[in-house]
Structure 1
């Protein structure tokens, strides 16, 4: 989409099916083959809501900064790859991939530190976090001509679920169109822009003015540039010389409980930091064991390479 005007430029779900053939009518065998295809070509993926994983972290950062529960300068002492608040969590731990200590907001975004954002969500608190998500449009239907599933907050009844939701796990879910909408404040001085689909729709509609202060929006946007530009950033594989991409990766685990093997969806959302007329968000299913979020990172980079 164009994050300044809100114009939808492309909606893609793959694998798909031939709609012309659907209009004319499938044979019984062809229809059964589509229904039985394990890749589910009949599922319109951009319509669905999914666990966002770490692409959620800039939203948590925004809520934390606006509520003053966190600050860019504050560093947290985080030691080791796993953490729990106290013994009341039993055998449950929040884990992270990149170990560093201390951790501030910038390093937490650049290295995608789950523990930092779990602690941030707990500092924000259930009520303020819920209200912040609602301000970002969670729990309400997106006014959009194509029917999209509403992004959901899910249950935040326990400290664990609140902590997990802070880094995009738990029961929080997002549609990819809504994900792009939630990133528009970072390129519009804190204003959230409505995604539009039809040519005659009004452009640059502000749905939430000053959702994020202009200062905080600029702080987060600068950090998202380092997610790509910093050699250690999780999206550094998307770095294009002379073309300053900002963005955020995410890997969402889909499983019933901790300690079991599940599937993973890889996410990446990016935009040009100095000329933000194009924003691309991509989610790819079942990336476990084959590159994780680096798969959409490289695919999104390829698109920007062609259009820059």
Structure 2
């Protein structure tokens, strides 16, 4: 009886507790706390990207990395290794495109930022995608906390880990050729051989002098190479490069201890005659390396140094490629991090006729001067030559210091491109003056005027200044044809001063004076005067015959005389085969007026006895007589040419070489 009661009491208690539990379960649980939001990571991310692009690794390490990143990698990996790899792989011009997600930014969740990282390298552009995580950390300096970046070495290169080793394999490309209008190579590539010795197999006492002579080196040059600190008896030491000269190669390989390695060498088949156009290639200078930062150049690379080799360096060089390899220490394997394909350089085709240019250069005989020939109907340049010149082959693979000094100190200045300069033109100016006056309507070609005596001045106010004519005995009246045949300076001074206001100045500007042509090779603009205007009527009168401060570029002279062949039309001068024909000026004179000038130029040529249509001039200078010719072959008329020689050499005779095969 007592046990039953106790059980009943126990059951009652249990039911009572159960009821209480049910009542508690019906009470709603309290809501969870809202996640804590924090300020946007954008300002910190933007600072991080700017410092990263600038290579400010010290600041990034100290102020922007999480403690976990610092503990994992340390300064040696984050700072030193990045700098070493940038130097090893020529990494530069880093660009980072990044996109921040949308709010809210939560205190306990990372902010993941997708990145596209691109940069230039020794094998070309590298680009890869990564995600950079910023985490929010409390700091003593900032009571509210701050965002910090989590980093690892794969942000330097794809798949890079700590303790890996990095290697690079460069795939050099073949430099593009420069060819003439007929496809003949004027700057190309040829097989050559790098010559060196293995010191342990080479008897320096018996063979150094002979080897030096064959390689165009001095004994001191070879001794200096063999005595460098890194050289060991079994090492191969490169000494020089020679072209495919079988006789020389056989003599070199007869010397015990010599070795050869086949290489490709730049070659300039037309040598001096094309030097000022082609330029040359040579090892890159520190200045050029800085100028071409971000273009994949490194110390020891070859680059165009003058002429078209420099102007078209990017196209001729092509696209360098190669691989960046990572030796994964932990996995004991090597992977390819970056694989860039290479592409050969482009071919640059010129309008130049290389054989014709070589003929003209040889005709100049190494004397100082310049020559140009242009197709007046298309603007194509067939010849643009400067004499004397250097041989660009001397710079391949590297010019000797003694030879460079010899060229630099040569009084005839072989490095100076005379075809790009401007010179006093004298009587070459007279047909241009006539063309301007005829278009103005102030000159009637058939109307003769009476000119007496050797000198003339328009007004007594000119004081002692007078215009002097070279042939005062010509029978009156003097018309345009007589004036052009006999270079009558007084006739052209009268015509120039008869033009109203600034019409003579404006007419000369129409002919291209004061214009810097859009031309691949920089050319000095022809000038009316140093100021571009006439300071007095006397200066205007003397300028009509190319005196005073008038200067003319040889290509511009050929271009202007071409307008007489093309009935008053001037084409834009072009140098490349794929350039489009373009009118530079039209209606500089009428077809009828152009015919009158042509007739007079034929007569002038007959008077001078050279059989060409054109004008000659001899200018007295402190250094001798400067000779000019500008004109064309009246029997063909497909080229307009100009020749300037700084000495007494017959410019018209040299011009004859321009037309001998046409």
Pick the TM interval, shorter chain: 0.7 to 0.9
Q: Residue 238 of structure 1 corresponds to which residue in structure 2?
A: 610
Q: 1:171 to 1:10 in 2, by over 3 A?
A: same
Which residue matches 2:647? 286
Report the equivalent of 2:491.
116
Could you tell me which residue of structure 2 aligns to residue 247 of structure 1? Answer: 614
Q: Secondary structure at the match of 2:618?
A: strand
Residues 143-197 of structure 1 deviation map (CA, whole Å, 9 limit, x = unaligned): 1111101111114111221011100111111111111111222111211112211
Residue in structure 2 matched with residue 177 of structure 1 by the alignment: 555
Partners of 1:137 and 1:131 in 2: how far apart? 10
Q: SS where residue 584 of structure 2 aligns?
A: strand
Name the CA shift for 1:78/1:24 in 2 (closer, same or farther; >3 Å): farther
1:270–1:280 contact (8 Å) kept in structure 2: yes
3-state SS of the aligned residue for 1:249? strand
Distance 2:397 2:447 in 1: 61
Which structure carries more strand by proportion? 2
Displacement, 1:302?
Answer: 4.4
Instruction: Note the 1:67-106 alignment, pairs <5 A.
Output: 67-99=440-472, 100=474, 101-106=476-481
Report the counterpart of residue 535 of structure 2 in structure 1: 157
Quickly say closer, same or farther: Cα 1:263–1:125, change in 2 above 3 A.
farther
Relative to structure 1, the CA distance from residue 262 to residue 37 in structure 2 (aligned partners, 3 Å threshold; closer, same or farther) is: closer
Distance 1:263 1:272, change over 3 A: same
Cα pair 1:138 1:151 within 8 Å, conserved: yes
Distance 1:22 1:189 in 2: 45
Picking from 223, 245, 250, the partner of 2:600 is 223
The separation in 1 between residues aligned to 2:417 and 2:511, in whole angstroms, is: 24
1:301 aligns with 2:662: no
Q: Which runs of 5+ in 2 are unaligned?
A: 1-373
Q: Who is 1:210 aligned against?
A: 587
Of stretches 185-194 and 79-88 in structure 1, the one that deviates more from structure 2 is 79-88
> In structure 1, what is the Cα distance between the partners aligned to 2:590 and 2:563?
9
Uncovered stretches (5+) of structure 1, i.e. residues with no partner: 240-244, 255-260
Q: Deviations over 1:48-96 (max 9, x none)?
A: 0111111111110000101012111222221222222233222222222
Which residue of structure 1 lines up, in the alignment, with residue 571 of structure 2? 193
Would you say the 8 A contact 1:169–1:253 is kept in 2?
Answer: no
Identify the residue that residue 271 of structure 1 maps to in structure 2.
632
User: How far off is 1:253 after superposition?
Assistant: 4.2
State the partner residue of 2:546. Answer: 168
C-alpha distance in structure 1 between counterparts of 2:641 and 2:548, whole Å: 25
Match of 2:502 in 1: 127
In 2: Cα distance, 1:47 partner to 1:23 partner: 25
The whole-number CA distance in structure 2 between the counterparts of 1:92 and 1:286 is: 28
Cα distance in structure 2, aligned partners of 1:25 and 1:125: 59
1:278 is displaced (CA, Å) by 2.0
TM-score, normalised to structure 1, is 0.85
Q: Contact conserved, 2:561 with 2:640, CA < 8 A, in 1?
A: no
- Offset of residue 135 of structure 1: 0.6
Name the stretch that deviates more: 136-145 or 18-27.
18-27
For normalisation by structure 2, the TM-score amounts to 0.41
Q: State the shift of 1:32 in Å.
A: 2.8
Q: Which has the larger radius of gyration?
A: 2
303 and 180 in structure 1: CA distance in 2 versus 1, 3 angstrom threshold: closer
Distance 1:226 1:282, change over 3 A: same
Q: How many pairs were matched up?
A: 284
